[in-house]
Chains A and B, each alone.
Chain A
Amino acid sequence: MEFQSLFIIAVSAIFVSNFVLHKFLGLCPYIGVSKQLDSAVGMGMAVIFVMSMASVVTWTIHNYFLAPTPSNLLFKIFMKGKGDPPDLTYLQTICFILVIATLVQTVEMVIQKMSPGLYRSLGIYLPLITTNCAVLGVSILNIDAEYNFIQSLVNGFTSGIGFTLALVLMAGLREKLELANVPRAMRGAPIAFIMAGCMSLAFFGFAGFKM
């Protein structure tokens, strides 16, 4: 199996082109949730789960229902495999966001039933994963890069890990920053952005590695 390509996808998603620090995906919760370490870790876990599942489901929908290939299920059932397969890729945005919204709703219900403590501590941020650019972003990136099923799953899972890594690092730094003497104008969001800029600069050190 192509373990090397999977490893490259994983390292690239976590370090080299980190979702938050280089691809700019997932910034709203990044600035909003990263004030405390515990909620950051909980949010990260939920995002990893949603991103992995969303990658898998959206890949399946794209390759078996939307793409103009002969294996398109709608082509086989309704046109009985004759003629040209229909190109339904314009429905991509609507289908994907519907799938993601449903997934997040399901995850929310499961967490509420299985672990009410976690549900209470995540609060409003769980439904907000629907509008997290990272989830829709990784789905579309998998399609653009033409990954197969396993590669999409690995990309989704490790992108979630990359997001969680950046989030946890930021939360740890911001907790320490509570005690520092920041100039009044820069307190809160501005200093968080400057820190993100420095972290992004640091992560640039991973670019150019040869495997």
Chain B
Amino acid sequence: MIIGKEFIKGLYKENPVFRLMLGLCPVLAVSNSVNNALGMGAATIFVLLCSNGVVSLIRNFIPSKIRIPIFIMIIATFVTIVKLVMAAFFPDLSKSLGLFISLIVVNCIILGRAEAYSSKNRVFLSIIDGLGMGIGFTLALIIIATFREILGNGSWLGMELFGPNFKPVLLMILSPGAFLTIGFVIGFLNWFEHRRHIKH
């Protein structure tokens, strides 16, 4: 079924973070706790769905030469909506995510999907593709945030996992930990894919 295939590919085979290497800035910056990761994932999914839908709706009327600025305008509008809603209803999350909510507009995933998929496909398929990519992005965020928060803070989603004698590795919460974590996760995925291909 086409719908299922379009959705599933964003989760693993064409995962935007681990395979396509898009949207790296927010993944490393926001993944210092699972709470932030979920908030950023939700905001990105919303912007991705809306912008994919709108771009696909007007795809036959956009002149090819100025399509990139038009995509950017559409995405910027939805990002402004998300920013204002988050500042109003989730002020703590808004403060901890800070700059990176505004930076969703330059998230390569959203512009990349608008350029590569939504401008050429029907609205329904574009929205399904956006949902798959967005959930894949959020999954990647949660995986990295899990490693960083458990090792760097001894908690997961704010719940303390270990007793008071656990000394967390502060490095994981800071910037080097982010780079090391994503390096090892992508390395593991490469190894896993290679083993799968050997077996077949």
B80, B176, B182, B183: the one contacting A93 at CB < 8 Å is B80
Across the interface, do B68 and A28 meet the contact criterion of CB distance under 8 Å?
no
Across the interface, do B175 and A22 meet the contact criterion of CB distance under 8 Å?
yes
Pick out which of these stretches binds chain A: B17-25, B49-57, B135-143.
B17-25
Residue of B nearest to A191 (CB): B183
Across the interface, do B76 and A97 meet the contact criterion of CB distance under 8 Å?
yes
Across the interface, do B180 and A132 meet the contact criterion of CB distance under 8 Å?
no
What's the nearest-Cβ distance from chain B to residue A204, in Å?
7
Q: How many residues of A contact B (CB 8 A)?
A: 45
Residue of B nearest to A183 (CB): B187
DSSP majority for the B interface?
helix
Across the interface, do A98 and B69 meet the contact criterion of CB distance under 8 Å?
yes
> Which residues on B sit within 8 Å (CB–CB) of A140?
99, 102
Q: Is A116 an interface residue (CB 8 A)?
A: no
Residue of A nearest to B185 (CB): A190
Q: Per-residue CB proximity of B115-126 to A under 8 Å, as 1/0?
A: 000000000000
Q: How far is the CA of A140 from the CA of B97 in the complex (A)?
A: 14
Residue of A nearest to B101 (CB): A93
Across the interface, do A144 and B99 meet the contact criterion of CB distance under 8 Å?
yes
Across the interface, do A194 and B68 meet the contact criterion of CB distance under 8 Å?
no
Across the interface, do A24 and B106 meet the contact criterion of CB distance under 8 Å?
no
What's the nearest-Cβ distance from chain B to residue A126, in Å?
13
> Which residues on B sit within 8 Å (CB–CB) of A141?
99
List CB contacts (< 8 Å) of A24-81 with chain B.
Answer: 24-28, 31-32
Residue of A101, A133, A200 ringed by the most chain B CB atoms within 10 A? A133
Question: If A90-B84, A94-B77 touch, does A184 touch B175 (CB 8 Å cutoff)?
Answer: no
Q: Is A158 an interface residue (CB 8 A)?
A: no
What's the nearest-Cβ distance from chain B to residue A77, in Å?
24
Q: How far is the CA of A136 from the CA of B106 in the complex (A)?
A: 8
Residue of B nearest to A21 (CB): B175
Across the interface, do A197 and B179 meet the contact criterion of CB distance under 8 Å?
yes
Q: Is B29 an interface residue (CB 8 A)?
A: yes
Q: Is A124 an interface residue (CB 8 A)?
A: no
List CB contacts (< 8 Å) of A183-205 with chain B.
Answer: 183-187, 189-194, 196-198, 200-201, 204
Q: Is B194 an interface residue (CB 8 A)?
A: yes
Residues of A bordering B, CB below 8 Å? 21-28, 31-32, 90-94, 97-98, 101, 127, 130-133, 136-137, 140-141, 144, 183-187, 189-194, 196-198, 200-201, 204
Residues of B bordering A, CB below 8 Å? 21-25, 28-29, 68-69, 72-73, 76-77, 79-80, 83-84, 99, 102-103, 105-108, 111, 171, 174-180, 182-184, 186-188, 190-191, 194
